[in-house]
Amino acid sequence: MNVIEALGQRKSTRAFLPKPVEKEKIVTILQAARHAPSGTNAQPWQVAVVCGKKKAELTEAMEGAFRENGPGDMDYHYYPLEWHEPFKKRRVTCGAQLYSALNIDRHDKERRLAQWRANYRAFDAPVMLFFFLDRAMQKGSFLDFGMFIQSLMLAAVEEGLATCAQAALGQYPALVKDFLGYNLETLLLCGMALGYEDPDAPVNNYRTEREEVAVFTRFFE
């Protein structure tokens, strides 16, 4: 598989097979992702790989926090405080596609809530990744980390694995850091579900639209 093919195949997977991911494969994709570029070669990424009993305990704690207090606050603002076009429409369309694939009516609050809780279980993927950044680093390191995460997801495709990058896994930073023993002064950027895709799950069989190159590109010659 070449890089262009991997870019086309990568998607946000939200249903996984109950099949463990071999540790060797996790190391392989991390080995590949570590070659991502970073300003001054700072390599600002720190990664926690959580599975097995630890994953069960941590996801139970996050679900409990959600039931008690609703969505938590991330260490930074991932989304804009006020949405405007064209981003607002894209966001609404994305959500509508997801719930349509799950056959969840927009008025079915109970099922929509249950689906939201699934975020904190990493959609029952066998592996969760958490990404941490030293708080001293600035916005440039967010760019570096994004390239690292994309590299990780493309390497996962090569290894036959599926992923879903999740801002929701960053909504309880103090809880996660305390549980995993990370310094509270680090930033929890986000998390990721990792595992083997369930190809028969309807939620995995839709794709969000992408704008054509001409929409977002200007050539100056």
- Partnered with residue 193 across adjacent β-strands are 128, 164
With a cut of 90, say whether residue 45 has pLDDT above it: yes
One-letter-per-residue 3-state SS of the chain: CCHHHHHHHCCECCCECCCCCCHHHHHHHHHHHCCCCCHHHCCCCEEEEEEHHHHHHHHHHHHHHHHHHCCCCCCCCCCCCCCCCCHHHHHHHHHHHHHHHCCCCCCCHHHHHHHHHHHHHHHHCCEEEEEEEECCCCHHHHHHHHHHHHHHHHHHHHCCCEEEEECHHHCCHHHHHHHHCCCCCEEEEEEEEEECECCCCHHHCCCCCCCCHHHHCCCCC
User: Please, what are the domains in the chain?
Assistant: 3-79+120-216 (3.40.109.10)
What sign results for the dihedral spanned by CA atoms 169, 174, 177, 183? positive
Share of the chain above pLDDT 70, in %: 100
CA distance 164 to 11: 7
DSSP 91: H
Q: Taking residues 147-152, report their average pLDDT.
A: 98
Model pLDDT for residues 64-121, shown as the tens digit of each residue: 999 999 999 999 999 999 999 999 999 988 988 888 888 888 888 888 888 889 999 9
Could you tell me the pLDDT band of residue 200, with boundaries at 50, 70 and 90?
very high
CA distance 213 to 221: 17
Q: Taking residues 34-53, report their average pLDDT.
A: 97
Helix (H), strand (E) at residue 92 = helix 87-101
Q: Taking residues 165-178, report their average pLDDT.
A: 97
pLDDT of residue 164: 97
pLDDT of residue 15: 94
Helix (H), strand (E) at residue 101 = helix 87-101
Could you tell me the pTM of the whole model? 0.94
Nearest alpha-carbon partner for 27 in 56, 3, 47: 47
